[in-house]
Amino acid sequence: MQIKVKFFASLREQMGTDGQIVESSGPLSISGVWQLVTDYSPPENLLCSRNLKYVDWEESVEDGDEVAFFPPVTGG
């Protein structure tokens, strides 16, 4: 299974890339994707999406999905 992973805002800078492709041979959740791309725990307020829709960290992913991670957006 191949998943496209994207990083936004300060997370992109921290990761040193705006995204990557990850592969897994078995079932995977959003939190499992995070574990594949980094070796540290996600920040408490980190948001995630699957195919452009906000989802829970335990949401399952499927082959070809796009998973995005980004810090909460603030503005004024």
Q: What is residue 74's predicted lDDT score, i.e. its pLDDT?
A: 66
Segments making up each domain of the chain, as ranges: 2-70
Q: How far apart are CA 76 and CA 67, in angstroms?
A: 27
Q: What is residue 66's predicted lDDT score, i.e. its pLDDT?
A: 98
Neighbours of 53 (CB within 10 A): 8
Q: Are 63 and 1 in contact (CB under 8 A)?
A: yes
Q: What is residue 40's predicted lDDT score, i.e. its pLDDT?
A: 87
Classify domain 2-70 at the CATH topology level: Ubiquitin-like (UB roll) (3.10.20)
SS3 label, residue 55? coil
| Count of helix runs (H) and strand runs (E) in the chain | 2, 7
10-35 per-position pLDDT tens digit: 889 888 999 999 999 989 999 999 99
Q: What is residue 14's predicted lDDT score, i.e. its pLDDT?
A: 87
23-76 per-position pLDDT tens digit: 999 899 999 999 999 988 888 889 999 999 999 999 999 999 999 999 877 666
